[in-house]
Amino acid sequence: MANISFILQYFLKPRTTGAILPSSRFLARKMMANIDFARAECIVEYGPGTGVFTREILRARKSGTKIILIERNENFFTLLQENFSDEKNVFIYCDSAENIGTHLAAQGLAHADYIVSGLPFASLPHEISQNILARTREFLHRDGRFVTFQYTLLKKKIFKDYLDLVDIRREFRNVPPAYVFTFKKKTLGETFSEEKVSPKPPSKRL
Ligand SMILES: C[S@@+](CC[C@H](N)C(=O)[O-])C[C@H]1O[C@@H](n2cnc3c(N)ncnc32)[C@H](O)[C@@H]1O
């Protein structure tokens, strides 16, 4: 049933759905490989769709860990509510991942320890991808991790201004095979801090 709903959404909204089938459970498990569930106070998931990654997150998390799901598609949002709204500490929002800050604040949180993304960065409008990545850098904990998957390595450079790559793993048991990227928050160099930049001396006229 979830697969049929997914295929339908792909034909209705190809750019934001980004895939014809939900991810496999093998890919879902690989997405979890760099998450320290014992340490996580808050995990945010962008674009959970029919909830393949959500199920793995819920299986492994401590019951006190807050899980925030942000799904833009109303049909997927309804499905997620049907399946997960009874779970303790799960908060489901029908919104764009660009608004992560609002939803963290609603739960009294300043940062997420982990952000797991199913977003199709290769097909989303460039400006939306850039906004989401800028907000991800802002709201990811300084020791946190951002985990995402892509079907090719071609768009890897869209992350580079916001996040630093930790590792890449490949999962063949998915249609199509996919790469799992783990990133950490990019720390801006001292030269970007306004307080540290010395004022320029007035230029002398010769
Ligand atoms: C490739 S599907 C992945 C679904 C699921 N995570 C999986 O792997 O099977 C992409 C998902 O991202 C959602 N999405 C696209 N743009 C979004 C945005 N700006 N904010 C939140 N969700 C978005 C889509 O509606 C869809 O559910």
Q: Whose CA is nearest to atom 18 of ligand 1?
A: 96
CB 67 within 8 A of CB 58: yes
- Round to whole Å and give the CA distance between 167 and 53: 19
Mutate which of 11, 16, 121, 171 to test ligand 1's pocket (most atoms within 8 Å of Cβ)?
16
pLDDT at 203: 47
For a mutational test of ligand 1's pocket, the pick from 70, 72, 102, 131, i.e. the residue with the most ligand atoms closer than 8 A to its C-beta, is 72
Give me the pLDDT at residue 154, please. 86
Distance CA 112, CA 82 (A): 25
Buried b or exposed e, range 138-174, using 16+ CB within 10 angstroms: ebbbeebbbbbbbbeeeeeebbeebbeeeeeeebeeb
Q: Which atom of ligand 1 is nearest to the CA of 45?
A: 6
Contact yes or no for 153/179 (Cβ under 8 A): yes
Number of CB atoms found within 10 A of residue 74's CB: 10
In short, whether 121's Cβ falls inside 6 Å of ligand 1 is: no
Cα distance between residue 97 and residue 65, in whole Å: 20
Of 115, 90, 140, which is closest to residue 35 (Cα–Cα)? 115
What structural domains does the chain harbor?
Answer: 2-188 (3.40.50.150)
What pLDDT, on the 0 to 100 scale, is given for residue 194?
38
Ligand 1 near 53 CB (within 6 A): yes
pLDDT of residue 198: 40
CA dihedral 84, 112, 166, 127 (to 10 degrees): 90
Rounded Cα distance, 100 and 43, in Å = 11
Q: What is the pLDDT of residue 189?
A: 59
Q: What is the model's pLDDT at position 197?
A: 40
Average pLDDT by stretches of 10, the chain with 206 residues: 84 91 97 97 98 98 97 97 97 98 98 98 95 98 97 91 96 97 82 40 45
Which pLDDT does position 66 carry in this prediction?
A: 98
CA-to-CA distance for 159 and 156, rounded, in angstroms? 6
pLDDT of residue 1: 65
Query: What pLDDT score was predicted for residue 200?
Result: 45
- Predicted TM-score of the model (pTM): 0.91
